[in-house]
Structure 1
Amino acid sequence: MAVPQERLDIGAVEIHADHTGYESILTPAALGFLAQLHRRFDATRQHLLQARRERQAGYDAGGLPDFRADTRAIRESDWTVAPIPAALQDRRVEITGPVERKMIINALNSGAKVFMADFEDSSAPTFANQLDGQINLRDAVNGTIEFSTPEGKHYRVNENPAVLVVRPRGWHLHDKFFSVDGEPMAGALVDFGLFVFHNARALHRRQRGPYFYLPKLEAMEEAALWDEVMAAAEDELQLPVGTMKATVLIETLPAAFQMHEILHALRRRAVGLNCGRWDYIFSYLKTLRGHRDRLLPERGQVQMTAPFLKAYSELLIQTCHRRGAFAMGGMAAQIPIKGDDAANELALAKVRTDKLREVQAGHDGTWVAHPALVPVAQEIFDRYMPTPNQLRVLRKDVQVTREQLLAAPNGTISRAGFDNNVEVCLRYTAAWLDGLGCVPIHHLMEDAATAEIARAQLWQWLHHADIPAGETPTGGALEFPDHAPIDFALFDHAMAAHTHRLRDSQHPGATRADAAAALLSAMTHADQLGNFLTLPAYDQLG
């Protein structure tokens, strides 16, 4: 059956989906606004994506990321970001999740200081998911959002909800449902454009933004593009320059070498940086995919106490506080375990340990993925950070080198760790293809970032660690405690077994198990590690 397609009367935007029911969001004026953004900024976006490809080619040829010589003056000179709005002065606990209606209400009511509404890694970008999300956020901004279950349970937003911050998709993702002049729009501009067009003025009147989290930036030029996009939107919507504020996720390895520069590019609207730890680990794997001596141990062993991650976290804190910006901690992926008090307490203990490390290091706040973890994280931050933030903690003791940011930690690869990676990336991909962007697996909330870690590790191990059992990869510090050979026979067997189990289960994505397995098998056997799982998966999205 052909997908309905309509060119709306503004003569600029084509919508490649049945948009019945979304007329209040997809107004001619809103679509005209999207068309302006595309025509003004997409050529620059494409140029920056080409620059990414060229940098990666250099890394694949043996090069390594480094601090930029041409921006030394930015790093060494004295400057600060613009004053931070009162609504964002205290961000000790932030909760994140997709833009699903019930989730939005629960997150706003969770007691967290901030709710990051996510159009990116925790949301599968079906047309309905993205447009329903825009309606849900519009209703949340207007104070009219409610939700009732078939069983009669009713949800509405309480007084003093969390401050809303929106994460659009990254610059690398196109949107197959919207095109301008025959070219697909950037998913980032669709998400950002529709949200600000319908909500920016109302949020500004209430001194609540609009505020954004910006994902997967790799260079200061990509941050500068966001600054230009926001400035253009402010001009079009007749808002003061600098009204829109942004926190940047440092979740790519190249960006770790440009934190000062990224803040400088956004200095009139930057309010902080965030340790996007899971995507950062994935980016380390992807950026260094051609380096046999940079393999990581199984992902359960890659904790923030690892030297290369500790250096990244402390450098982020030092950089932010020197520039008057907040240094946000990372996500606790644990979720409550019902019916097993001992296991649940063990999970909560891991969260407490992680949050204690963050607050004592100097972070100004942290992330959780489940409302039940808000009081757990808040108790730690309240005890060790009685003030709204820790901008006074300058961490002048921190001295981070290029080598520290690039050093692979010691560790092991076991058959159990290998098998867990196969299971996680299969189950997540199948659920994503079925329209679900965050999936609980073994009491962890997995999203695209953690699935990407599992996928990238499998590719690296198979293409670089295919060595006799018990030996150590050249230049690496990995061990194989159960003498498990890492080869494609092991991978193919594990993928077949988990596909069979998923197909016969009640897990999310069970009906897409075979499609997910075929996609992951092709990407894992490929000679080069694919940049993002979501790019080839997008064409198969349900």
Structure 2
Amino acid sequence: MTIERTDATPIAARAAHAAHPATGSFQTVEPRIEVSAPLGPRYAEILTPEALEFLAELHDRFASTRHELLAARLQTRVDAANGRDPKFLPETESIRSDRSWRVAGAGPGLEDRRVEITGPTDRKMAINALNSGAKVWLADQEDATSPTWANVIEGQLSLFDFLHGELEYTSPEGKQYRVTAEETPTIVMRPRGWHLTEKHLRFHDRAGRAMHASGSLVDFGLYFFHNAQALIAAGRGPYIYLAKLESHREAKLWNDIFVFAQQRLGIPKGTVRATVLIETIQAAFEMDEILYELRDHCAGLNAGRWDYIFSIVKTFRSRGRRWVTPDRKSITMTVPFMRAYTELLVATCHKRGAHAIGGMSAFIPNRRDPQVTERALAAVAADKRREASDGFDGTWVAHPDLIATARAEFDAVLGERPNQVDRLRDDVEVTAAQLLDIPSIGGHVTEGGVRDNVSIGIRYIESWLRGTGAAAIDNLMEDAATAEISRSQIWQWLNENTITAEGTRIDHAWMEGLVASVIAGLPRFDGDRFDDAIEVFRHVALEPEFPTFLTLGAYARYL
């Protein structure tokens, strides 16, 4: 993708606007979307009156449906806690059994997705991703981004500047970063999930009621409004990753949003392409239906493995010892229930002409430690070899040094073909029992595994509170999803009175001692947020009430 510099977006004026005299916040003349946070340099170029009105229109039409669907999620959680398992929906069986329908498939620049690099949208990380040589950059406003006000708006500025030929960065040490690659990755932006709000923007509906804006609508709306035409002009399009969906009804809501947004900006229907992360156990039972609802705008599905494991733990956390999961490192991609999930995903996608995109191995190289790098490359190669052999069309990496390893495994299977969508997996038959076969994981809960979860959870939350959403911890790339696994397992083990392999009962007294031991060994430094992180971790892992996402309360209180 080659971007040439332009002086203005064809959609919205890049105007400067006056600050509110009392608060320093930006306001339109008749604000339907009110900005309640200070403006940094150039924020007004993103928060134009036209863009804010577009956000208001999105909220007018879709905010109430979002609230209804979040309420439906709550009922689903209650049903699961009461012993009702997810299932393939009988009312949509005709969609699953009809082999005639197919999705729109890859848009321009998405035909070959063999290696996608994921990462946040700050200027330095954006430039590194764009220079990486990957086929696709997942520009992540979700789990790899801590949703501080600065990260949200400055991430939009990074994307805007690249798409208008102006992205560069100078570090505090004076090092300069520029996009130098002749061919840059196709961008697929991932907005926040439906559960998250944007508290720095308040939406005033036509009845005068005020509420926090939806993080999903803000991230998508600003990106689409400012960049859709530039993306199309560059021979690509507005491509989106959809995170944490739990039902086909949520997919339909996104499809309705795409239809409206395209009509509103005069863009042909079907220009948007979405890739849906199947990262909840509920969505795993509705893959066909999700594809069907998005069929005019759908490119594929992704196996979001870490959030999927979190969803399993969260959904069945209080269902008894049969559902207790072992140490996180024991839940590999080769255990039976994870094999069932990924094989069903590939088979479903290829039956419908959709890409199946693999997940991200957590191992990352360490340029200062050759042995760590050697182990990481070997683990990543094995992971990507399995995915390519199983029929996936591409995969994720979190570090540029892993691209060559991942690409080699997919090159060995694909050759010169851009993908293997034509490889039907009619041999795959996955039952509900196989998707829910948690006991087959095997393994044990060990004292070391519990300690690792406490340490990783606290250190990741501390990083997130400082504004870094993708953190290298113990030679693994941790994001919000892996922190969620860590704290959810702690909660489950504690509430099920689990006994470790060493014979220790996990109760509150023992956990408090372990947490104190971990805290004593934390690497404290000026400006750290460990005190706040410890408080957040105790709340989400050790208290009787289980928050559905650790980020909800932490965002409301600390960001």
Deviations 1:87-112 (A, max 9, x none): 11100000000011011111011110
Contact 2:240 2:273 in 1 (8 A): yes
SS of 1:336 mapped into structure 2: coil
SS of 1:540 mapped into structure 2: helix
TM alignment of 1:446-465, pairs within 5 A: 446-464=478-496
Query: Is 1:140 aligned with 2:162?
Result: yes
Contact 2:32 2:56 in 1 (8 A): yes
TM alignment of 1:14-53, pairs within 5 A: 14-21=34-41, 22-53=43-74
TM alignment of 1:106-121, pairs within 5 A: 106-121=128-143
| Distance in 1 separating the partners of 2:173 and 2:550 | 37
| Distance in 2 separating the partners of 1:420 and 1:525 | 15
Deviations 1:15-70 (A, max 9, x none): 11012421111111110000000111000000000000011110011111010011
Alpha-carbon deviation of 1:497? Answer: 2.4
Contact 1:217 1:223 in 2 (8 A): yes
Q: Residue 544 of structure 2 is aligned with which of 523, 527, 532?
A: 527
Alpha-carbon deviation of 1:517? Answer: 1.0
Contact 2:490 2:542 in 1 (8 A): no
- Counterpart for residue 290 of structure 1: 318
Alpha-carbon deviation of 1:4? Answer: 4.8
Q: Residue 458 of structure 2 is aligned with which of 420, 426, 432?
A: 426
SS of 1:132 mapped into structure 2: helix
| Distance in 2 separating the partners of 1:144 and 1:283 | 40
Deviations 1:199-255 (A, max 9, x none): 001111222111010000000010000011111110111100011110000000000
Q: Residue 418 of structure 2 is aligned with which of 382, 385, 388?
A: 388
| Distance in 1 separating the partners of 2:39 and 2:404 | 40
Contact 1:432 1:541 in 2 (8 A): no
Alpha-carbon deviation of 1:430? Answer: 1.2
Contact 2:34 2:203 in 1 (8 A): yes
Alpha-carbon deviation of 1:384? Answer: 1.7
Q: Residue 403 of structure 1 is aligned with which of 426, 429, 433?
A: 433
SS of 2:275 mapped into structure 1: strand
Greater CA deviation, 288-297 or 416-425?
A: 288-297
Greater CA deviation, 515-524 or 116-125?
A: 515-524
Contact 1:459 1:525 in 2 (8 A): yes
Q: How many residues are matched?
A: 526
Q: Residue 493 of structure 1 is aligned with which of 497, 501, 513?
A: 513
- Unaligned stretches of 5+ in structure 1? 470-479
- Counterpart for residue 472 of structure 1: none
SS of 2:235 mapped into structure 1: coil
TM alignment of 1:323-362, pairs within 5 A: 323-362=352-391
Q: Residue 278 of structure 1 is aligned with which of 302, 306, 319?
A: 306
Deviations 1:447-469 (A, max 9, x none): 000000000000000001x15x4
SS of 2:188 mapped into structure 1: strand
| Distance in 2 separating the partners of 1:6 and 1:161 | 34
TM alignment of 1:153-302, pairs within 5 A: 153-157=175-179, 158-181=181-204, 182-292=210-320, 293-302=322-331
Contact 2:55 2:217 in 1 (8 A): yes
User: Identity percentage over the alignment?
Assistant: 47
| Distance in 1 separating the partners of 2:464 and 2:177 | 26
**Letter of the structure 2 residue corresponding to residue 105 of structure 1:** I
- Counterpart for residue 477 of structure 1: none
Contact 2:231 2:237 in 1 (8 A): yes
Alpha-carbon deviation of 1:282? Answer: 0.2
Query: Is 1:538 aligned with 2:558?
Result: no
Greater CA deviation, 215-224 or 145-154?
A: 145-154
| Distance in 2 separating the partners of 1:236 and 1:186 | 19
Query: Is 1:412 aligned with 2:444?
Result: yes
Q: Residue 439 of structure 1 is aligned with which of 460, 471, 481?
A: 471
Alpha-carbon deviation of 1:521? Answer: 1.1
Contact 1:289 1:529 in 2 (8 A): no
- Counterpart for residue 8 of structure 2: none
TM-score by length of 2: 0.92
Query: Is 1:375 aligned with 2:397?
Result: no
| Distance in 2 separating the partners of 1:538 and 1:223 | 25
- Unaligned stretches of 5+ in structure 2? 1-21, 205-209
SS of 1:207 mapped into structure 2: coil
RMSD: 1.4
Alpha-carbon deviation of 1:522? Answer: 2.3
SS of 1:175 mapped into structure 2: strand
**Letter of the structure 2 residue corresponding to residue 84 of structure 1:** A
Deviations 1:334-360 (A, max 9, x none): 111233322321111000000000000
SS of 2:380 mapped into structure 1: helix
Query: Is 1:71 aligned with 2:92?
Result: yes
SS of 1:327 mapped into structure 2: strand
Alpha-carbon deviation of 1:149? Answer: 2.5
SS of 2:202 mapped into structure 1: strand
| Distance in 1 separating the partners of 2:529 and 2:175 | 31
Q: Residue 311 of structure 1 is aligned with which of 334, 340, 350?
A: 340
Contact 1:216 1:252 in 2 (8 A): yes
TM-score by length of 1: 0.95
Deviations 1:168-219 (A, max 9, x none): 0001101100111111110000000111111001111222111010000000
Alpha-carbon deviation of 1:150? Answer: 3.7
- Counterpart for residue 99 of structure 1: 121
SS of 1:86 mapped into structure 2: coil
